[in-house]
Amino acid sequence: MPQLDPWFFEHRYFETYAIASTVSAWVLHPFAYLHNLEDLWLDGGVLQFIQPYNRREPAIYPVIQLAIEDTFDSWHTLTFRPGGDDYDDEPQNMCYPIEAACETFEIDYQPFLECSWLTFPNDYDPRGRFRSWKAEANAYEEYFAELKLMGTLEELSGPLCDEIFFILFLNREALAGFNRLVAMHLDDLYVDDLEEEYRSLFRSNGVLLRKDIPAWAYHAVYYRDRGACVRCGQRVDRDISPRDTPEIDHIVPLSKGGLNDVTNLQILCRSCNRSKSNRDSNAGTRYERWWSKK
């Protein structure tokens, strides 16, 4: 893919909203998706989320990556090849969604039909289609495993993660759900059992040390929330009045296991921030329209 100014990326919208919805459902209803999420927590996996203010990959990225893998692993219904004829369903004009994604993002990959080691003549009918769903599922499972081994899925996850996070960053409720989920697992850790590189990040069991919010995170949250309190809507424009200086709130309080991460921040006015309880881990639900409907 061509290199762009680091402030920009090319949004190709390949199932972006579908995968973002999957992530949102997982983090808002984690007990309904224990099986999907269990790999995140194995062998101290919760520690991958605690590095403060990762500019390149905010803390929710591992969840997005897992959702991408889960989506393509189970999604083996043929679709039309990008740029091809959407009325000709001959095998050469069809591909699996992961192949379509690679072509959309201009990533080199090994096409399914060129994998000779997956070709079993008895499984195909005269038109080159699988005779049974089971035969196709087994072949796709091998193919998907090979794409993972070759690093194709990892390469594809890069631009897809950026697209999905761009959507999710506007969803403060989902971000709050993610932080509550991580906090729940942090609560199971004992700091004294951790290696020093992790132990130094904690204030006490389940509670991280407060880290200064970097300028890039402050600006990202300020512009996302349009310089307005996400609870009452009051403008907090520091360029107009020093009294209106916005206050950055940790959605899930650090004392309750919240992260030092851009996903855990929102803009509040001074009054709303002072009145927010330390037990309150809900995100503001107020969003400004692009234009007034009056």
Task: Compute CA distances 56 → 6, 161, 165, 175, 259, whole Å.
Answer: 11, 11, 11, 17, 16
Residue 267 CA to residue 273 CA, distance in Å, equals 9
Q: Which of 117, 148, 168 is the last residue of a domain?
A: 168
Q: Is residue 282 part of a domain?
A: yes
For residue 28, what pLDDT is reported?
97
Q: Is residue 175 part of a domain?
A: no
Judge if 122 and 226 occupy the same domain.
Answer: no
Query: What is the number of structural domains in the chain?
Result: 2
Q: Is residue 7 part of a domain?
A: yes
Judge if 228 and 149 occupy the same domain.
Answer: no
Task: List, as one string, the DSSP characters of 212-265.
Answer: PPPHHHHHHHHHHTTTB-TTT--B--TTT-GGG--EEEESS-GGGT--SSGGGE
Judge if 224 and 158 occupy the same domain.
Answer: no
Judge if 4 and 80 occupy the same domain.
Answer: yes
Q: Is residue 9 part of a domain?
A: yes
Judge if 13 and 151 occupy the same domain.
Answer: yes
For residue 55, what pLDDT is reported?
95
**Full residue range of the structural domain in which residue 244 is found:** 204-286
For residue 30, what pLDDT is reported?
97
Q: Is residue 156 part of a domain?
A: yes
Q: Which of 168, 194, 222 is the last residue of a domain?
A: 168
Q: Is residue 267 part of a domain?
A: yes
For residue 129, what pLDDT is reported?
60
Q: Is residue 71 part of a domain?
A: yes
Within 8 A by CB and 6+ apart from 145, the residues are none
For residue 126, what pLDDT is reported?
46
Within 8 A by CB and 6+ apart from 26, the residues are 33, 36, 37, 63, 67
Q: What is the pTM for the complete model shown?
A: 0.91
Mean pLDDT of successive 10-residue stretches along the chain, which has 294 residues:
76 94 98 96 95 97 97 87 72 86 95 74 55 77 92 96 97 97 95 94 96 96 94 79 76 96 95 85 90 90
Task: List, as one string, the DSSP characters of 70-85.
Answer: HHHHH----EEPTTS-
For residue 75, what pLDDT is reported?
83
Q: Is residue 256 part of a domain?
A: yes
Judge if 68 and 155 occupy the same domain.
Answer: yes
Locate 198 and state its tokens: 């992790």
